[in-house]
Chains A and B, each alone.
Chain A
């Protein structure tokens, strides 16, 4: 019963947060100077032209009225129409979401496949000494490479030299599934570097934390083989912080591919969102931010749910906030 109440409370809080996000983004995007008509009609447009365009897009209505209208439609799944593309935002999301999801999935796959084993390896083998410092240094390096620096470097290398993979050419999934994954491989690698470093570190810390528990010492004393100890005891107990991090990274990746998509010319949600910001394409920005926030909040809720089941006292969850 307590669990259900806790879950209901958390869900209500999440919805409230989402509502807050919707109000804030609605207001903020309108507080940006200039509007769509300033950009698209260009300097040569007359006042009456601009006014007519604003009226056509409903931009001349009172803001509260616009918000309520938008909210009513959004709840029913209609996120409005992009001013620039003249297509429903939802349709465009349908086209772009798979791209960002594929990119995220690739980066996550790399993260899990490399980061966790690396963390377990360094964690079980290290209690200090030189190896520890080297591990720290490498993971700190991985976590200190901003996407726009690493991405620029990768674009440069693959532009300047023929290294097999092309940059800037996105192949749609429908056209060639394998080629599509290939075209997203480089940006996924760039995204993955931070995530791998963070996951390896968290895994290592978690493993180190578990290793001091008495039951591990007992297992060692019983003479269980090392591999079995790692599999049966260490991984199971270190799973929560690692899963938490992976969930957080998922949310981060889904909302944080903006720069990578720009740099590698990937037609995903991130580039759509920033284009929308630049053009004051309100409907696009509102829906994009709302979606990113919803994913983020849901992931956090899941994380809380999992860790709440394991340890009911736990409340908070870390998250990476960066560019």
Chain B
């Protein structure tokens, strides 16, 4: 049950706002104020010279309809596990900029053309060198697939090899998040030769260029990885055996961190930071994240009062996001508009139309009647947010009945062919470009949201404009307009960012952890973790 953010999510990530990192971390909390300037919560201690095994415990495993195929992977849990094996052309830096990975460099001769030069000396773990055919084939395969992520790549017209180590991508029109979208696991470069000749079943095996190879995997129990000896920087990787254990019970992960049977664990409840009081050698940090919780107001049902924008907006203005962040999430989250507030260029949630309304429209609130609010069980925070919303709306005279479902039922009720809900709380991955997640607000582009979301032409135009404009003051203005329009239409309302917590043993590992993540990959810098000598 706990593995289920899947349902709601496109991503999992560990996060929390930096400002509140001081949080009740009763253990030796990190000096985040200083670290955040560098973009890191903590950097690996270079004086640690050891190599050896590392045990990581996670709350749930990657479960995908497409098996281990990274292109169809829809959750951040899959992205982070698969990123140990697969690498994309580019990657994300700590400030959400884009930096080279399998491409050593790229040029953008005009707004719609990207020319990538492949890194030299890259091989797959079977020893075969990376070719332009792998790059072209992988991207074309993704674009042709039915995978949801293909839409994030934008209007790609063609992908062609234009030299022995050069690949050119042509877009139909300018699309600013293109590189950001390329920087995630579903856009990873796959061994196309082995896929095409049938020697590799992507759904069951992983074969990539990354730092690790899979020794074995038992669904919902463990993963065993070992260093990829063909990896270009394999000598620098200190973790030679990586064991990922799936431990759904939060208390069991706490115990493992306490007694040192795991070196790194993730927590699904923000208050778990308090639960390590008095533990030696254990440290807990919260990583900010672009993921955010949302409230859907189902506007597609013509008999519902929520079909009326006035009612929806009045309900929106009765919400207090700051209180949601402080009460439901213990102050570890921050309010956000549709542009995730941790990303550069994001709009200011305090300036949104509903936030500036002094007294909500009483007449409209009266029409709301009694509303059902659907939540799911696997994540305590969702139920807590729902209860705070219930109280806030009760103050405004609106009765909310919470309906807590198991994750699969929730998925069917909210995202099924025939939605059966008035309000629903869930969360989205925020990605790494401020405009990316807003695509889900256009039901035509998103596909999945058309059952409860009315198409709003004004909003669609803004989403389109935000995606096309180059970074700068004009785009920041467009993003602010986009946030405002989402807030006014109030169909799918961003609430607060989604915090989460990572714990580690200082006597077993010195990790590198970023202040903020966009793709939920808290193991992103695992190749630079250092281990104490003699381990």
Which chain A residues have a beta carbon within 8 Å of chain B's beta carbons? 32-49, 52-53, 82, 84-87, 95, 152, 155-156, 158-160, 162, 166-169, 262-265, 267, 274-275, 278-280
20 A-B residue pairs with Cβ-Cβ distance under 8 Å, sorted by A, are: A34-B416, A35-B408, A35-B412, A37-B65, A38-B412, A40-B6, A40-B63, A43-B7, A43-B8, A43-B9, A44-B10, A44-B74, A44-B440, A46-B447, A47-B447, A168-B252, A265-B249, A278-B4, A278-B406, A280-B408
Whether the pair B6, A39 counts as a contact (CB closer than 8 A) is: yes
The interface bits of chain B over 225-248 (1 if a CB of A lies within 8 angstroms of the residue's CB, else 0) are 000000000000000000000011
| Distance in Å: Cβ of B8 to nearest Cβ of chain A | 6
Q: Closest approach, in angstroms, between the C-beta of B130 and any C-beta of chain A?
A: 28
Residue of A262, A264, A267, A279 near B63 (CB, 8 A) is A279
Size of the B side of the interface (Cβ < 8 Å), in residues, is 51
Q: Contacts A44-B448, A46-B447, A169-B261 known; A159 to B65 CB distance under 8 Å?
A: no
Q: Tell me how many residue pairs across A and B have CB atoms closer than 8 Å.
A: 147
By a CB distance below 8 angstroms, the chain B residues around A53 are: 65
Kindly list 13 other residue pairs between chains A and B, CB separation below 8 angstroms, not including A39-B4, A155-B249, A275-B1.
A34-B408, A35-B408, A39-B63, A39-B408, A42-B9, A43-B411, A49-B65, A86-B67, A155-B255, A166-B256, A169-B255, A262-B249, A265-B249
Contacts of B406 in A (CB 8 A): 278
Question: Nearest Cβ distance between residue A171 and chain B, in whole angstroms?
Answer: 10
Inter-chain contact B7/A39, CB cutoff 8 Å = yes
Please give, as numbers and ranges, the residues of chain B lying within 8 Å of A44 by CB-CB distance: 10, 74, 148, 440, 446-448
User: Closest approach, in angstroms, between the C-beta of A278 and any C-beta of chain B?
Assistant: 5
Whether the Cβ atoms of A166 and B259 lie closer than 8 Å is yes
Is the pair A158, B220 in contact by a Cβ cutoff of 8 Å?
Answer: no
Question: Which residues of A lie under 8 Å from residue B252 when comparing CB positions?
Answer: 155, 167-169, 263-265
Write the nearest CB–CB distance from A52 to chain B, whole angstroms: 7
- Knowing A39-B6, A166-B259, say if A159 contacts B63 (CB, 8 Å): no
B247 touches A265 (CB 8 A): yes
The smallest C-beta distance from A243 to any residue of chain B, in angstroms, reads 35
The answer on a CB contact under 8 Å between B409 and A32 is: yes
Distance between Cα atoms of A160 and B146 in the complex (Å): 48
Contacting pair A43 B415 (CB below 8 A): yes
A87 to B221, CA, bound (A): 14
Given A34-B408, A84-B219, A278-B408, A46:B146 Cβ within 8 A: yes
Q: Which residue, B9, B65, B219, B405, has most C-beta atoms of chain A within 10 A?
A: B65
Residue of B at shortest CB range from A47?
B417
The residue on B at minimum CB distance from A155 is: B251
Write out the residue numbers on chain B whose beta carbons fall within 8 Å of the beta carbon of A167: 251-252, 255
Q: Is B407 an interface residue (CB 8 A)?
A: yes
Q: Known: A48-B146, A49-B146, A162-B259. Is A42-B75 also a contact (CB below 8 A)?
A: yes
B261 contact set on A, CB distance < 8 A: 166, 169
B64 an interface residue at 8 Å Cβ cutoff? yes
- Contact status A168-B247, CB under 8 Å: yes
Within 8 A of A (CB), among B250-285: 251-256, 258-259, 261
Query: Closest approach, in angstroms, between the C-beta of B380 and any C-beta of chain A?
Result: 15
Q: B57 — nearest CB in chain A belongs to which residue?
A: A168
Q: Within the complex, what minimum Cβ distance (angstroms) separates A122 from chain B?
A: 35
Q: How far is the CA of A53 from the CA of B426 in the complex (A)?
A: 23
Do the beta carbons of B254 and A159 come within 8 Å of each other? yes
With both chains docked as a complex, state the minimum distance between the C-beta of A20 and any C-beta of chain B, in angstroms: 26
Contacts of A279 in B (CB 8 A): 63, 408
B146 touches A34 (CB 8 A): no
Chain B residue nearest to A86 (CB atoms) is B67
**Chain A CB within 8 A of B358 CB:** no
Is B204 part of the binding interface, using a Cβ–Cβ cutoff of 8 Å? yes
Q: Contacts of A275 on B, CB cut-off 8 Å?
A: 1, 220
Check A87–B219 contact: CB distance below 8 A.
yes
Among A37, A42, A262, A275, max chain B CB count under 10 A is at A42
**Contact among A43, A162, A166, A278 with B426 in the assembled complex (CB-CB below 8 Å):** A43
Instruction: Tell me whether B413 is interfacial, beta carbon within 8 Å.
Output: yes
Report whether A86 and B446 are in contact in the complex, using a CB–CB cutoff of 8 Å: no
Question: Which residues on A sit within 8 Å (CB–CB) of B248?
Answer: 262, 265
